[in-house]
Amino acid sequence: MDTLVVKVALIGMLGLAAQWLAWRARLPAIVLLLVAGVVAGPVTGLLDPAADFGPLLRPLVAIAVALILFEGGLSLNFAELRETSVAVRRLVTFGVLIAFSLGTLSGHLLAELSWPSALVLGGILVVTGPTVVIPLLRHARLKPRVASLLRWEAILADPVGALLAVLVFEIVLVSKAALSTEELILKVSGVIAWAALGGYGLGRLIAMTFIRGWIPEFLKAPAVVVVVLATYAVSGLMLEESGLLTVTVLGITLGNSRIASLTELRRLKEFVTILLVSGVFILLTASLEPSSLKSLTPRDGLFLAVMLLVTRPVSVLASTVFSGISWQERLLTAWIAPRGVVAVAVSGLFAVTLAEQGVTDGHRLIALTFAMVVTTVVLHGFSLNPLARLLKLGSGGPQGVLIVGASAWTTALAEQLTAMKLPTTIVDRNWSHLRDARLQGIDVFYGEILSELAEHHLEINRFGYLIAATDDNSYNALVCTDFGPEFGRSNVFQIGRLDGGDSIHSLAVTLGGRPLLKDIGDYAALNARLAEGWTFRKTTLSEDFNEAKLRAEIGQQGSLLLARRADRLVWLTSTEPPKLLPDDVVLSFGPARD
């Protein structure tokens, strides 16, 4: 068998394994991808990308980066940007420009990079990225506002920073040509105009073909991938080095178009982009030579320190002044800015291209970017929780409840949980199912909970418990199985679970969640009881009114659901529930009292 096929398969397996282990361990994927690349490359020598792929290496990386940048543009939704807080909008506009300016100066003056390399590096390092920030937020129980600030900055700064980096890169490449000032201005303007008009026009054309049904559903995602590759190639032929900027504008145009297939297009990230990001990162990591890392000087260390301790704080504090957030939130945001896989992938292509264009220190971008990624992931990952506690930005009290499936019963349950001051959100794929919950003022999320896009838009770190309560018992089991490793298997519950016996309908013990109110019944039974007049009741226990009296009051038909005890929840639906104590606030479901 061709050894190149084996190497490609190895890269795919390593990338997928690193992503899976990161999901299981709830770690940023970049940490395990870094380990996989170093082990496969410099340590064992299994991969030597330059020798294995030869002249194909750069085109492959270029194609992957083009698709990654297109996906980044697809994620930049202007409507979402308008809906975010003032602080987020300033961070991804003014904050990005300040960080770019200071980063460029630091790269030139401290890391002693030439101006072209410093400009490109300054553009690359403004990108944080949700693939690193969101896993960190899962572990940190932050207050909702600061968690939302960090999450939305990562989601929106990723495409904004990528667009800025590509724009600067294109301008630097044009400036390397031996042109007069007038010719330089004309060509730079031509590249920007060509990319803007070409990307926008092609995006509108694709949207029109989708809306008019000229392309069947099963061909839409493959057609978009092919169009992106063709756009990158043709744009580069028509106007040199304009391809990356054109595909980024194409992604932004499609991401803001009103087409029904937009969700399916965004799912490109869930398969194509994840594979490409993983593959490119492992390729670049495996290509690292010890000499390139040894070339880092004390001045490079000073550059990293200034980027962390000066550039980031100044950009955040200056852009969020009078934005309505507290100084503690501004201080935490000023420190937390881990860089991600996109920065490394983009720097790998840019560094090679700059070196080919005569920028002698262009190759240093890869080592500096890797150093920044490793430094920020380690420092910010280990310091987020202690700093949040020091600034009193940790979320006190028990974690909330995420309810999957909107119905009359789950709406009534969410209303009681909200009254108990527990963060509660109902998730459903059907907008009309959420109508009653929205009218009750309950927090809702419209979308597919199993989609990776939901992870980016839903503050999962607010919740410690999940209840799957749809009318589909198999889907409930799937949701609990998927979120079991994240919440803990003892903290995911489902209604309608069938266990025991030899029935072909019963679930294996390794699947699904803990049964909830099994004695009452499934989706239909719970909603029928509610329609018959059953209600949820909150009761505070005391020395005089204990658990025994409460159980006698609700009767044999009713059931105790949970109890709030100080800073945690106690679930009472198991066969041997824990003993209740005075001052516990107990939530029960049973027939209405006479």
Query: Do 465 and 402 meet the contact criterion of CB atoms below 8 Å apart?
Result: yes
500: left (phi over 0), alpha (psi -120 to 50) or beta: left
Total count of residues recorded for the chain? 594
Q: Phi/psi of residue 563, each to 5°?
A: -135, 140
What H or E segment, with its residue span, contains residue 590?
A: strand 585-590
Of 56-65, 170-179, 355-364, 498-507, minimum mean pLDDT range: 498-507
- What is the C-alpha to C-alpha distance for residues 59 and 63, in angstroms, rounded to an integer? 6
What are the tens digits of pLDDT across the range 266-321? 666 566 767 777 888 888 788 877 766 677 888 999 999 999 999 999 999 999 98
- What is the C-alpha to C-alpha distance for residues 260 and 91, in angstroms, rounded to an integer? 30
What are the tens digits of pLDDT across the range 380-433? 888 888 888 888 887 666 678 999 999 999 999 999 999 888 889 999 999 999
Query: Do 590 and 536 meet the contact criterion of CB atoms below 8 Å apart?
Result: no
What are the tens digits of pLDDT across the range 8-64? 888 889 888 888 887 777 677 777 888 888 888 888 888 888 888 888 887 888 888
Return the closest-CA partner of residue 126 out of 90, 97, 89.
97
Return the closest-CA partner of residue 158 out of 128, 121, 123, 122.
128
CATH numbers and ranges of domains, the chain: 58-390 (1.20.1530.20), 400-590 (3.40.50.720)
Q: DSSP labels for 486-540?
A: HH-GGGEEESS---STT-TTSPPTTSS-EESSTTT-SHHHHHHHHHHT-EEEEEE
Residues with Cβ within 8 Å of 319's Cβ and at least 6 positions away in sequence, in order, are: 90, 91, 93, 94, 95, 98
What are the tens digits of pLDDT across the range 108-159? 999 999 998 999 899 888 877 677 787 777 677 787 788 878 888 887 777 7
Query: Do 340 and 366 meet the contact criterion of CB atoms below 8 Å apart?
Result: no
Q: What is the pLDDT at residue 169?
A: 81
Label residue 451 by pLDDT band (50, 70, 90): confident
